[in-house]
Structure 1
Amino acid sequence: MNHFRIAHKSSAFHKKQGGFSIVELLIAGVLGLLLLGGVLQLFLGSNQNYTMQDELATIQEDGRFALMFLGDQIEMAGWSDPTANEVRPAIDFLNSADGANNDTIALTYVRANDGVNNIDCNGNVVLGGIVTNQFSVNNNNELVCRGMGVGGTAQPLVADVESFQVLYGVETERVCPDGLVDRYMTRQEVNNAGLVNNVLAVRIALLLRSDNEILPENKAEQFQVLDQAFNFNDRSMRRLFQKTIPMPNSAFNILTNSDETIKCMSGF
């Protein structure tokens, strides 16, 4: 009798241990796919966010570097080494130009012809000590600097330049100049007004874009880059960098005519 009961219980136990039904398997599969899709979506979102942050960091670093490098060169422009016995205009307008998308600026200063200080932006020695560095954007959308030294070629500074614009802060007073900027003008306006030697500051603007189209969808944007306006509708990320840099050497050169300065101060 006991043997029969044990066998009966064992048979009932095996019946309860039957496999999952097809419906249960389908539900489990759907739930697994939903969980997997959520994890995949989270991964893709995190990866896209990382890519955007990495591109933005690159743009910010390139923008700050370009402004710093250009700022140093602009502040140096117009400098004349006391041992050089020569004064040159800070802006070389023959090698500067206005462009639809990009401008070009050439900066000049005079250093002692010693083979050490007379170095252009490419690290090449400039014979005669008259250093001229030209900044422009090449066909690869790179901001480049071309020095006038021996064997000099244009070297890239930053990439992915959408626009590079330049305005010149000019002292328009021809009589009794006060060494202050009266107006910001394009290269052509300065040249037409005959104020090439009266540039006291430079305002530069750089519009940089991401290396890849990283936004999830097209974004319509408008940027005012100094005197030029640009419209975009794509998936690229852009940032505008702008700075006004004074040119103390130019102001000094304008105000060093002692006779004229004394006449102006005395009211004659």
Structure 2
Amino acid sequence: MITHRQQAGFSLIELMIALVLGLIISSAIIQIMISNNMTERLNRAVGSAQENGRFIISRMRNELLMTGRYDTLQPTLNADVDTVVESAFVQNNPVIAVGDFVTDATKGSKEGASGANDTLMVGFQGLQDCRASKHSYLADEEFYVVNEYFVENNILKCKGYDGRVLRGLKSSVATDAPYSILDDVYSFQVQYGVTDTLASQDNTARPVKFIDADTLATEKASGAQVVAIRLAILLKADSEVLIDPVPSFKLFSEEAIQPTEQRLYKQFETTITLRNSKNFIRSRNI
């Protein structure tokens, strides 16, 4: 006798329930993957901005610490000019103001109009300028170096000069093109910490206020000396991460900046004490 075993399978309702549960689980997994991908991209963007910020602050600090340095007793100092007179000029003008140089009165530290990027110009005795140029001096010779920092097309750049050429003491020679330091610089702002005037007879070399470049020449004319530099830099992260809404940023006394791109931005600030200028001011007590 032959018997037929009854075969049972999934019903239509059971299949529909399984499909719905599968879709829910798949959707959850996809959302987790998308979220993880966005988090990873955001972390990369933050890390990139932090790395660029630390780099530029460290580099600017190392270079600006030399501001105002001049040692007439240094054996490697090139003595083709009167180094005593040059020493007085460098030490009294560590930060260059517009009008300090006879050959080009337009050069100097400048305040950007209506919140535009500032220009910073400093001088010191050194072996090379910010882009490692010697300006025809011997390999081991030191000379009066002038470095100019500015932003062009959202790139922070530096251009080096022979300060003796700017002072009209040497013939002009071809200078190297500006050197690009960092991309994606949205704003570059500078303030200057100045001492009290000569009339105050305060030789403590403490900054009594921070000013913009447009009042720098007036303060220097009254006998005030720049002994500190404050930098504020706004960087755009190198990433496709979209931020909505983008927060506004306020750099020093400038109006708040509202970036137009929905990208990640990071603000960095630092204050650099000019030890050479402070020592020069303190020497008045001797």
Superposition TM-score tier, normalisation by shorter sequence: 0.7 to 0.9
Structure 1 residue runs of 4+, over 6 Å off?
Answer: none
Is 1:203 matched with 2:230? yes
1:205 partner SS: strand
Greater helix share, 1 or 2?
Answer: 1
Deviation at 1:256, TM superposition (A): 3.4
Kept in 1: contact 2:130–2:159 (CA 8 A): yes
**Matched positions, count:** 241
Q: CA deviation at 1:195?
A: 5.3
RCO comparison, higher one (Cα < 8 Å, 6+):
2
Which residue pairs with 2:176 in the alignment?
Answer: 152
Which residue among 224, 242, 245 is the counterpart of 2:272?
A: 245
Cα distance 1:134–1:197, how it changes in 2: closer, same or farther (>3 A)? farther
What's the counterpart of residue 155 of structure 2? 142
Structure 2 partner of 1:190: 216
- Residues 32 and 195 (structure 1 numbering): CA distance in 2 closer, same or farther, change over 3 Å? farther
Structure having the higher Rg: 1
Task: Calculate the aligned-residue CA RMSD, in Å.
Answer: 2.2
What residue is the counterpart of 1:70 in the other structure? Answer: 60
Distance 1:165 1:119 in 2: 25
- What's the counterpart of residue 104 of structure 2? none
Structure with more strand by fraction: 1
Counterpart position of 1:103: 118
State how far apart, in whole Å, the 2-side matches of 1:44 and 1:242 are.
34
Q: CA deviation at 1:241?
A: 0.9
Residues in 1 aligned to 2:261 and 2:244: alpha-carbon distance in whole angstroms: 4
How far, CA to CA, are the matches of 1:136 and 1:199 in structure 2?
Answer: 19
Relative to structure 2, which stretch is displaced further, 154-163 or 183-192? 154-163
Q: Percent identity?
A: 27
Which stretch of the first structure deviates more once superposed, 82-91 or 101-110? 82-91
* Between 147-156 and 72-81, the greater mean CA deviation after superposition: 147-156
Q: CA deviation at 1:47?
A: 0.9
Aligned 8 A contact 2:198 2:224 in 1: no
For structure 1, which runs of at least 5 residues remain unmatched after alignment? 112-117, 263-268
Counterpart residue identity of residue 101, structure 1: A
In structure 2, list runs of 5 or more residues that go unmatched: 78-82, 98-106, 138-142, 163-173
